[in-house]
Amino acid sequence: MEVEGQDTAINITVKFSGRSIPISVSLDSKIKDVKSLLQPLTNVLPRGQKLIFKGKLLVDGMTLRESEVTNGAKVMLMASQGLHQGDGPILKDAKTRPISRANTSSNKTVNEKIGVLFDKNRVERWKVTGVIGLAECNLKAIPEEVWTCGPSTRVLDISNNFILDVPAQIGCLSSMQKFLLNGNGMLDECIKWKGLTSLKHLTVLSVSHNNLSTLPSELGALCSLRQLHVSNNKLSSLPMEIGLLTQLEVLKVNNNRISNVPMCIGDCSSLAEVDLSSNLLTDLPVTFGDLLNLKALHLGNNGLKSLPSTIFKMCLQLSTLDLHNTEITMDVLRQLEGWQDFDDRRRSKHQKQLDFRVVGSAEFDEGADKL
273 three-state secondary structure:
strand
Please give the distance of CA 236 from its chain centroid, rounded to a whole number. Answer: 26
Domain assignment present for residue 1? The answer is no
- Check whether residue 22 and residue 131 sit in a common domain: no
CA–CA dist 215, 239 (Å, integer): 6
Report pLDDT digits (tens) over 63-83. Answer: 999 999 999 999 989 887 544
What pLDDT score does 361 carry? 42
124-156 core/surface letters (b: 16 or more CB in 10 A; e: else):
bbbbbbbebebeeeeeeebeeebeebeeebbbb
Residue 2 has pLDDT above 70, yes or no: no
Q: For position 287, which CATH number holds? A: 3.80.10.10
Q: Has residue 297 been placed in a domain?
A: yes
User: Does 95 fall in a domain?
Assistant: no
Residue-range definition of the domain harbouring residue 42: 9-79
Residues 262 and 260: their CA atoms lie apart, in Å, by 7
Q: Are residues 54 and 177 in the same domain?
A: no
Residue 366 covered by a domain = no
For residues 16 and 126, membership in a common domain is answered with no
Find all residues with CB under 8 Å of 142, minimum gap 6, and list them.
134, 158, 163, 165, 166, 167
On whether residue 164 sits in a domain, the answer given is: yes
Question: Is 243 contained in some domain?
Answer: yes
Q: Kindly report, residue by residue over 344-370, the tens digit of the pLDDT.
A: 888 887 765 545 444 434 455 554 344
Could you read off the pLDDT of 23-71 as tens digits, one per residue?
999 989 999 999 888 877 886 767 778 899 988 899 999 999 999 999 9
Q: How confident is the model at residue 102 (pLDDT cuts 50, 70, 90)?
A: very low
> Which residues are paired to 10 by β-bridges?
25
Final residue of a domain: which of 26, 59, 79? 79
- In this prediction, residue 132 carries a pLDDT of 95
Listing DSSP states for 174-219 in one string gives: TT--EEE--SS---GGGB-HHHHTT-TT--EEE--SS------GGG
Are both 74 and 126 inside the same structural domain?
A: no
DSSP 56-96: EEPPTTSBTTTTT--TT-EEEEEE-TT-B-TTS--PPPPPP
Co-location of 165 and 25 in the same domain: no
Q: Based on the fold, state whether residues 273 and 205 are members of the same structural domain.
A: yes
Residue 7 pLDDT:
56
Asked whether residue 273 falls in the same domain as residue 183, the answer is yes
Please indicate, yes or no, whether residues 15 and 158 belong to a single structural domain of this protein.
Answer: no
Structure confidence at residue 78 (pLDDT): 86
- As a whole-number percent, the residues of the chain with pLDDT over 90 amount to 65
Q: Please check whether residue 202 lies inside any domain of the structure.
A: yes
Total number of domains constituting the chain: 2
Share of the chain above pLDDT 70, in %: 81
The DSSP bridge partners found for residue 44 are: 84
Q: Are 221 and 195 in contact, with CB atoms under 8 Å apart?
A: no
CATH number of the domain enclosing 34: 3.10.20.90
Give mean pLDDT, residues 265-282. Answer: 95
- pLDDT at res. 186: 96
3-class DSSP state of 348: helix
Flag whether pLDDT at 93 surpasses 90. Answer: no
Provide CB contacts within 8 A for 176, sequence distance 6+: 153, 154, 155, 156, 199, 201, 202
Do both 334 and 225 map to the same domain? yes
Whether residue 148 sits in one domain with residue 295: yes
63 and 131 share one domain = no
Is residue 137 domain-resident? yes
- Between 316 and 105, name the one with better pLDDT: 316
pLDDT at 92: 54
pLDDT at 43: 67
| Per-residue pLDDT at 277 | 94
Other C-beta atoms closer than 10 Å to the C-beta of 100 total 9
Identify the CA nearest to 164 among candidates 185, 195, 143. 185
Average pLDDT of the residues of the chain: 84
What is the secondary structure of 100-147 as a DSSP string? Answer: -GGGHHHHHHHHHHHHHHHHHHHHHHHHHH-EEE-TTS--SS--THHH
Q: Are residues 137 and 29 in the same domain?
A: no
Euclidean distance between the first and the last CA atom of the chain, given in angstroms as a whole number: 41
pLDDT tops 60 at residue 113? no
- pLDDT at residue 94 above 50? no
What is the structure's pLDDT at 242? 96
The β-bridge relationship of strands 56-57 and 49-53 is: antiparallel
